[in-house]
């Protein structure tokens, strides 16, 4: 039973517009959430994270929003660039447990 779900396998966005990637989780004990980006033939690379005590974290063009009551996480990329085209994984971790739960990924295509 997947505790972290990404229900959109793919997303296509025009360059310069906003990309919004979504993630839902079921375990209310998760307290640390992350987004990873993966290019073909490479391993996932850490992008941005958020602690459960926050509802927003920004890093340049990337912002992660956390809605704990809805158990929902989203990643906003503004403005989107062709180089952002990749598979994005969300992940969650439970406090004091060294186990990360990953979603199935969303493939983002940013069209020039």
Partner 1 sequence: EAQVTQNPRYLITVTGKKLTVTCSQNMNHEYMSWYRQDPGLGLRQIYYSMNVEVTDKGDVPEGYKVSRKEKRNFPLILESPSPNQTSLYFCASSLIDSQAPLHFGNGTRLTVT
Taking the C-alpha atoms of residue 82 and residue 15, their distance in angstroms, rounded to an integer, is 6
Find the part of the chain contacting partner 1 (CB under 8 A) among 10-18, 55-63, 74-82, 87-95. 87-95
Backbone phi, psi, residue 54, to 5°: -115, 165
Q: Does the protein bind partner 1 through residue 10 (CB under 8 A)?
A: no
Q: Does the protein bind partner 1 through residue 44 (CB under 8 A)?
A: yes
Q: Which residues contact 43 (CB under 8 A, 6 or more apart)?
A: none
CA separation, residue 1 to residues 27, 42, 101 (Å): 11, 27, 11
Residue in 31, 62, 68, 79 binding partner 1, rule: CB under 8 A = 31
CB of 99 to partner 1, least distance (A): 7
Closer residue to partner 1, CB minimum distance, 76 or 94: 94
């Amino acid at each position: 039973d997947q505790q972290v779900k990404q229900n959109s396998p793919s997303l296509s966005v025009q360059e310069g517009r906003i990309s919004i990637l979504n993630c839902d989780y079921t375990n209310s004990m998760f307290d640390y959430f992350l987004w990873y980006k993966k290019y073909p033939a490479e391993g996932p690379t850490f992008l941005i994270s958020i602690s459960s005590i926050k509802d927003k974290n920004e890093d340049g063009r990337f912002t992660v929003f956390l809605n704990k009551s809805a158990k929902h996480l989203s990643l906003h990329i503004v403005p989107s660039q062709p180089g952002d085209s990749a598979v994005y994984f969300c992940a969650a971790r439970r406090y004091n447990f060294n186990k990360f739960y990953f979603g199935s990924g969303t493939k983002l295509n940013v069209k020039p």
